[in-house]
């Protein structure tokens, strides 16, 4: 016997009515957030993950927080390697609103839906979340239609990505969190750099890239001036990490001014890799003050133990 057709409906008019009610309820009980798509600049085709990515746009949209009792997950933990925050949050967004406010901008990689790896910025509490799973089938086919995306998110762990959305409170996350890079430069030529602007740099070996300017620090009070140039992450156009050497030229897009690196900060070497000394790593301090052989025994060939010799036990 077939199902009762008088109670199993799901007509187009009913689906549209239900979608509008879902949309209105989220606008009443939800909060405004910013949806930030991830832009993959270089992909690892073997592991299928992003090597270099950036976040260039932010779209304001309303979402409902399903975790009404607070953040989920394991919470704040003190692990072996320091303090770790494992908090989760679940958002619901009407798919019609997502398509209207975000999908219409041409944002699509596989399909017009929220994608894992994208970010959600919640001004309430100044939280930045990363989408771990986007479920389009929960709730499951109300009136034979899917009207809501359920976004399971966790706290975003910043890894020196470029964040330049044009919204100050979001872009400040990069300047406050990024370890950045510090170089000694001669006085800039032309218009001075402005905080937050994008600088184009060119190595003497002709590799090019871009970075965000943070600030200048004057080291001398009279001419010839020498300054510290602090920048954000250095993103090379070819997606490959290169060595920064003296003679590298930084040029302002806005004013046309430029500055040339004269020396690496806190280093006597002629060059430095893209892993500078920072307050957390102290890698340069260790390399200058101690011998690494005092910490690591390189004579051990097998880190899991030497194999047992049955002929000579």
Taking 3-state DSSP, the helix, strand and coil percentages for the chain, each rounded to the nearest 5, stand at 15, 35, 50
Using DSSP, state whether 280 is helix, strand or coil: coil
Kindly state the tokens that stand for 155.
């706290």
pLDDT at 272: 43
pLDDT at 267: 41
pLDDT at 121: 94
What span, in angstroms and rounded, lies between the C-alpha atoms of 161 and 178? 8
What span, in angstroms and rounded, lies between the C-alpha atoms of 273 and 271? 7
pLDDT at 106: 56
Residue bearing tokens 């270099």: 52
Contacts 24+ apart (CB under 8 A), 21-25: 22/94, 22/147, 22/148, 23/94, 23/96, 23/97, 25/64
pLDDT at 277: 42
DSSP at 17? H
pLDDT at 268: 42
Kindly state the tokens that stand for 265.
């900060």
DSSP at 294? G
Per-10-residue mean pLDDT of the chain, 313 residues long, equals: 73 84 91 90 72 83 82 62 74 88 60 83 89 85 84 85 84 74 72 80 87 76 71 78 81 80 55 44 58 58 61 58
Kindly state the tokens that stand for 213.
């300017």
Residue bearing tokens 């910013």: 34
**Residue 30 exposure: Cα atoms within 13 Å on the Cβ side:** 23
CA neighbor of 59 nearest in space, from 132, 178, 166? 166
């Amino acid at each position: 016997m077939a199902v009762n057709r008088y109670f199993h409906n799901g007509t187009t008019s009913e689906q549209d009515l239900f979608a509008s009610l879902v949309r209105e309820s989220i606008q009443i009980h939800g909060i405004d957030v910013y949806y930030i798509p991830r832009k993959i600049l270089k992909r690892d085709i073997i592991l299928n993950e992003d090597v270099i990515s950036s976040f260039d746009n932010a779209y304001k949209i309303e979402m409902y927080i399903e975790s009404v009792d607070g953040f989920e997950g394991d919470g704040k933990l003190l692990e072996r390697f320091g303090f770790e925050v494992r908090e989760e949050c679940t958002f619901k967004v009407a798919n019609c609103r997502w398509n209207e406010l975000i999908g219409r901008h041409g944002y699509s990689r596989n399909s017009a839906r929220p994608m894992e790896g994208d970010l959600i910025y919640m001004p309430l509490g100044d939280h930045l979340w990363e989408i771990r799973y986007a479920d389009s089938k929960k709730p499951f086919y109300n009136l034979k239609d899917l009207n809501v995306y359920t976004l399971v998110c966790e706290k975003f762990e910043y890894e020196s990505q470029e964040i330049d959305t044009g919204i100050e409170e979001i872009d400040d996350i990069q300047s406050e969190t990024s370890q950045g890079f510090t170089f000694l430069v001669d006085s800039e030529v032309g218009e001075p750099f402005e905080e937050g602007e994008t600088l184009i740099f060119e190595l003497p070996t002709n590799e090019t890239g871009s970075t965000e300017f943070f600030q200048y620090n004057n080291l001398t009070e009279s001419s010839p001036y020498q300054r510290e140039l602090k920048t954000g992450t250095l993103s090379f156009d070819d997606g490959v990490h290169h060595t920064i050497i003296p003679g590298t030229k930084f040029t302002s897009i806005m004013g046309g001014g430029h500055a040339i690196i004269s020396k690496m900060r806190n280093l006597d070497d002629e060059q430095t890799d893209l892993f500078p000394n920072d307050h957390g790593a102290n890698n340069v301090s260790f390399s200058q003050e101690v011998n690494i052989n005092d910490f690591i025994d390189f004579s051990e060939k097998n880190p899991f133990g030497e194999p047992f010799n049955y002929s000579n036990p």
